[in-house]
Structure 1
Amino acid sequence: MKRVGIGIIGCGNISGAYLKAMRNLPIVEVRGLADMNPAAAEARAAEFGLSAVPVDTLLADPAVEILVNLTIPKAHVAVGLRALEAGKHVYTEKPLGIAFAEGERLMAAAAARGLRVGAAPDTFLGGAHQTARALIDEGAIGAPVGGTAFFMCPGHERWHPAPDFYYEVGGGPMLDMGPYYVTDLVNLLGPVARVTGIATTPRQTRTITSAPRSGQTIPVHVPTHVSGMLEFVSGAAVSITMSFDVAAHRHLPLEIYGTEGSLLVPDPNFFGGTVEHLPKGGQWAPVETRYPYADANWRSIGVAEMAQAIRDGRPHRASGALALHVLEVMEAIGVSSQTGRHVEIATRPDRPSPLAESLVDGHIV
C-alpha cells in the first residue's frame, strides 16, 4: 500500500514524540518539517534525518497529503485553514481550537473542500484505554452510572521555562489537559448531552519558580480551577476537575462506576497503565492489557490511523468531529459558570469504534 506523505508545521517539544513514534508506523512517510523559527525545524530535521523547509514550500508539496499541525493552540485554526486551502488533510494537536466557533469554521472549511480533519489526543487508542473500553462494552461493570475525572497540580510555572501561555487566553487547565480526559470519556461512554460548571481564578498572578526566569511574575487571564458535571447521552454523570491550584490530591485520573462494578482507568495523557476492575461485591484486581500500543509513547498513532483510513476509504477515529465535540464540552463548562445554568451540547459525534477492530498482527489495517 502506498504510504501517506506527512508534513509537520511546528517543531517544538511535542514534535519529537510524534516523529519518534512515526518511525514505527509504516503507513506514514514524513516529507518535511517547517516552523516559524527555521532553526527549530532545522534542529529537529537533523535529529531525525529529515528535511527542513519553509512553510509555503511544505504546503505546496504535492507529496504531502496530511499536514500535522503542532503549533501553539492560538494558531491551530489559522494554520489548519492554510493547509486546507492548499488541499491538504489536517491533523492538529489538541485542542482543535481555543473557541468552539473557530473549531466549527475549520470543520466547515474542510467539508467544503472534501478534506479530513483529525485531532489529538489519540491516547484513547492506547492499549490500556482500549482494554477499559472493551470491559465496559462487555458489561463488566453493568450499565455505566457515573464517574470522576481529575487532573490537579500546583501549576506549570514550577517546571516550564516559559509558562506564560498557560495563563493566557487559549490556556488554562481545561484547554490544556481537559482534551485527554473528555476524549477518553467519550471513548468509554459516548457523547455528552449537557454540562454544568464552575470556573474560578484564585490568583491573578503567578511567580515562576523554574529556570531561566525564576522569580518573575506573570499575569493570569484565564480560570485556573475548573469543575463541572458532564451528563452523557447514555445517562451516565461524571464529575470533572482540571486545576492549576491544587498542591496535591489522591484521586485517580479516571474512575467509571456501573450498576455491577467499577473501573479504574489510567492517566489518559498516556497510552498504557494498569486498568483495575472491581465486580460488585468483589475486590479490586488488575486487568491484563489486551491490545497493543500500551508499551510506549505512541503519540501520532492517530495520524497513522487517519492515514490508513484515507487509503481504506473509511472514517478515522481521532476525528475532527470528536475534537469539536470535546471543545464544545470544555467551553460549555465556562459558559455554565458565567450564566449559572445547564448548557446543552449540540454536537453528537459517533463514539469511535474500538481500535481492536482494525488490528492485525499489531498493525493498523
Structure 2
Amino acid sequence: MTNRGPAHERHVPIMRDRILDLLAPALSTPGAVHVDGTLGMGGHAEGVLSRFPGCRVIGVDRDREALTLAGERLAGFGDRFLPVHATNDELARVLLDSGLQHVDGIVFDLGVSSLQLDEEDRGFAYRVDAPLDMRMDQTRGQTAADVLNTYSVEDVTRILREYGEERFARKIAVAIVREREDEPFATSGRLVELLRRVIPVASQRQSGHPAKRTFQALRIEVNDELGGWERAVAAAIDVLAVGGRMAVLSFHSLEDRLTKRAFALGATSSAPRGLPVELPHHAPYLRALTRGAEEPDDAEVLANPRAASAKLRAVERVRDTGASASTSVQKSTDETAHRARAERPRRTSQSQSSRAQAVSSRRSSRKGSPR
C-alpha cells in the first residue's frame, strides 16, 4: 500500500536547524540564491525559504514524483521556489538555463528520501514485497532486477562488497546467479528470502536485517550514486560564489569519504613543498565550517531513527579559481572512485547471448531428465 499523506508529514529533514545556521551568513542578503541539489520532499528547502525571506531556492531532483509533492508543499512561496527535473551533477546546466553562473548556498542530502522508502512499489524497502525497481528516476536506466538477472557472479560480488560492505558477498552472488537460472528475480520478497537462507543466522543476529547491505549496494549501483556524487561535488564547488556556503549530509562511508576528500583538497594550500612564499593561486579556495563530520544529537536520533547514520560537513568558498576548482576536485576524487567506475560491468551483446543460450540449454536438459 502506497503512503499518500501530505509531504510535510512524510518527510523529516535531518539536522535542519544546524544546516540553516551554517548557511545563514550566505543567505541572509536579499537576492541570495540557494540550490537544494537533492530536493526530495522539500523539507530543507522549506526551512531556507521560511528563515531567509529575501532568498530564492532552486530545487533539483531526478524523481518527478518528489518534485510534484515538493512543489505542492512549497506553493505558498510563489516564484521564490523553482523546481527542476535534473540530476545533482547537472548544476552548471541548471544554472545556465536559469541565467545564473554562481549561487550563494547549496545543500545536498544524500540519503534515500522518505518518499522512496515509504513508496512500497519502488522496491527500496526490504520489509515489504515489491517490484525490484530502485530507480530514483523511474523514466530511465536499469532496475535492480536488471542487475540481479544479468550481472555475472564477479560483478554482483563486487557491488555487494564495495557498495554494501557485505561480508558474504561472494556467497550471496553465487546463490543469486544459481537461482535466476530457474526464474528471474522480480520482487524484493524473493531476494530477502534468499538472503535469509544464505547469510548465517549468527551474523543476522549481530548485524540486523540480512537484506540491509545488499539493498544499499543495489540502490547505489542502479542510480550510479557514487559516480554521480563524484561529479556533483566538483560541479557544486565550481558554481559556489565567493562567500557562498555548502552543506552535505551523507549516510554511508563511501559518500562521506568522497565529500571529505573534495573539501580537504579545497581547504589545503597547493603550494609545493619547499616554496618559501605561498603564491595567491596556491591559497585554499575553501574554508571548513565543521570540525570533521558533525552528527545529529541523541534527541534527534530518538525522534527520527533515520538520522542515526547522518554525517554533516560544510564549507565556505573563500576565493575564485575559475574552472580549476572542479578540475582539481575531479582529479582527487578519481583516486577514490576510479576502480569502481573502471570495473562497472562491460557485457557485450555476444556475451549476453552466450549466457542466455547456456541457461536455455540447462533448462532443456532438466526438462528431459527423469525426476
The two structures share one fold, judged by TM-score above 0.5: no
**TM-score with structure 1 setting the length:** 0.30
Q: Which has the higher strand share?
A: 1
Query: If the length of structure 2 is used for normalisation, what is the TM-score?
Result: 0.29
